Amino acid sequence: MGFTGCGTIIATTGTVYIVVYGWDFYNLYMDYTQQSWGVTSGTYVLYNVPIGTHFFEAEDTWGWIWGYDSTTKYISAGVNYVYLYPY
């Protein structure tokens, strides 16, 4: 006896690894919503990010004038990488 009537499961989210390069402390944002506070250079993970185009930012905790970077990236199902250089 096998399974019948089961359709294909289509993923609707992805995992995003945000890789930050810098020498200070940064706040991380996705689509203008803060995701992390006061992080240093390193890799940070966002799970269950909806598939589609998203805007990512890293801003120095002292303000954008001290360090800022942003990028827009299409997030697909599975693993995605975003690289930010806010120095």
Query: Residue 11 contacts by C-beta under 8 Å, 6 or more apart in sequence?
Result: 51, 77, 78
pLDDT in tens, 5-48: 677 888 999 999 999 999 999 999 999 999 999 999 999 999 99
Query: Cα Rg for the chain, rounded, in angstroms?
Result: 16
pLDDT at residue 8, as a whole number = 85
Q: What is the pTM of this model?
A: 0.89
The string of pLDDT tens digits covering residues 40-87 is: 999 999 999 999 999 999 999 999 999 999 999 999 999 999 999 998
Q: Provide the CATH topology of domain 13-84.
A: Immunoglobulin-like (2.60.40)
Domain ranges of the chain: 13-84
